[in-house]
Amino acid sequence: MLKNITVRTKSRNEFIDLTADIQSVVDESGTRSGICCIYVPHTTAGVTVNEGADPSVTRDIQHALSRLVPHSGDYLHTEGNSDAHIKSTIVGSSQVIVIDAGKLLLGTWQSVFFCEFDGPRHRRVTVKIVGD
Ligand code: ZN
């Protein structure tokens, strides 16, 4: 099963919790056991798994990435969004999560976040479910 989730971001840098949306795709697929691949087909966004309980964590991650990769710098890319491309590469474009008993096998504090680095934009997240 393959499904696309549409994400509308509101800020240049923003993490959006997609855990419930992705679990809905798993539910819809009827898959009890398998893997869930989450793929972001964009060059200035990404997807990560990290703490969803305390919003300070994703705020701290975003701030740390922005200190590491400033918006302005010695970049050659003329679009003015080199920082977003670099952050996308650091964070990565995909995640794979095990499905067990029909649920994403996430840790207690883990959530799946879409990571916007060049918003606001309309984005797409592809979810592929493979049962075993
Ligand atoms: Zn660019």
- The domain limits of the chain are 2-131
Q: Residue 66 CB: number of other CB atoms within 10 A?
A: 15
Measured in Å, residue 115 CA sits from the centre of ligand 1 at 16
Nearest to 46 by CA among 117, 126, 96: 117
Distances (CA, A) of 97 to 6, 19, 68, 103, 128: 20, 11, 28, 10, 11
For 83-131, the pLDDT digits (tens) are: 999 999 999 999 999 999 999 999 999 999 999 999 999 999 999 999 9
For 37-64, the pLDDT digits (tens) are: 999 999 999 999 999 999 999 999 999 9
User: What CATH fold (topology level) applies to the domain 2-131?
Assistant: Jelly Rolls (2.60.120)
Q: What percent of the chain has pLDDT over 70?
A: 100
Measured in Å, residue 36 CA sits from the centre of ligand 1 at 29
Whole-number average pLDDT of the chain: 98
For residue 1, the 8-state DSSP code is -
Nearest to 132 by CA among 99, 97, 96, 94: 99
First to last CA, the chain: 13
pTM of the model: 0.97
Calculate the dihedral angle through the C-alpha atoms of 54, 59, 61, 67, rounding to the nearest 10 degrees. -160
Give me the pLDDT at residue 40, please: 98
For 83-96, the pLDDT digits (tens) are: 999 999 999 999 99
Measured in Å, residue 113 CA sits from the centre of ligand 1 at 22
Give me the pLDDT at residue 90, please: 98
Give me the pLDDT at residue 18, please: 98
